[in-house]
Amino acid sequence: MLEQINMLREKGQNELNAITSTDQLPEWYHQYLGRKGDLTSLLKQLGTLSSEERPVMGKVINEVKQQLQESFELRQKTLKETKLHQELEIDDLDVSLPGRPCTTGHLHLTTQTLRIQVYEAPEVESDEYNFQLLNIPEYHPARDMWDTFWVNDEVVLRTHTSPGQIWAMREYYPEPIRVILPGKCYRFEQITPRSEHQFYQVEGLTIGKNIRLTDLIGVMSEFAHKMYGAERKVRIRGSYFPFTEPSIEIDMSCSCEKKGCRLCKYTGWLEVAGAGMVHPVVLRNGGYDPEEWSGFAFGMGVERPAMLKHNINDIRRFYSNDLRFLQQF
Which stretches of the chain bind ligand DAH, using CB under 6 A? 160, 162, 203, 241, 244, 274-276, 297-299
- Rounded distance between C-alpha atoms, residue 256 and residue 269, angstroms: 9
Q: What CA dihedral angle connects 248, 252, 254 and 260, to 10 degrees?
A: 30
131 vs 228 by CB, closer to ligand DAH: 131
Count other Cβ atoms within 10 Å, centred on residue 245. Answer: 15
Question: Smallest gap, in angstroms, from Cβ of residue 213 to ligand DAH?
Answer: 12
159 vs 253 by CB, closer to ligand DAH: 159
201 vs 253 by CB, closer to ligand DAH: 201
Question: Smallest gap, in angstroms, from Cβ of residue 96 to ligand DAH?
Answer: 58
What three-state secondary structure class fits 208? strand
34 vs 287 by CB, closer to ligand DAH: 287
Question: Smallest gap, in angstroms, from Cβ of residue 142 to ligand DAH?
Answer: 10
Count other Cβ atoms within 10 Å, centred on residue 240. Answer: 14
What three-state secondary structure class fits 61? helix
64 vs 166 by CB, closer to ligand DAH: 166
Question: Smallest gap, in angstroms, from Cβ of residue 154 to ligand DAH?
Answer: 20
1 vs 145 by CB, closer to ligand DAH: 145
Question: Smallest gap, in angstroms, from Cβ of residue 134 to ligand DAH?
Answer: 8
- Burial environment of residue 243 by CB neighbours within 10 A (0 to 12, 13 to 18, 19 or more): buried
65 vs 158 by CB, closer to ligand DAH: 158
Question: Smallest gap, in angstroms, from Cβ of residue 297 to ligand DAH?
Answer: 3
Question: Smallest gap, in angstroms, from Cβ of residue 232 to ligand DAH?
Answer: 20
Residue 238's φ and ψ, nearest 5 degrees, are: -70, 145
Cα of 207 vs its chain's centroid, Å: 28
Which residues are paired to 315 by β-bridges? none
Question: Smallest gap, in angstroms, from Cβ of residue 225 to ligand DAH?
Answer: 20
- Contacts of range 7-16, beta carbons closer than 8 Å, 24 or more positions apart: 8/32, 8/38, 8/39, 8/42, 8/64, 9/64, 9/67, 9/68, 12/38, 12/68, 12/71, 13/68, 13/71, 16/68, 16/71, 16/72, 16/75
What three-state secondary structure class fits 47? helix
On the CB side of 174, CA atoms within 13 Å amount to 5
29 vs 200 by CB, closer to ligand DAH: 200
Do 135 and 282 meet the contact criterion of CB atoms below 8 Å apart? yes
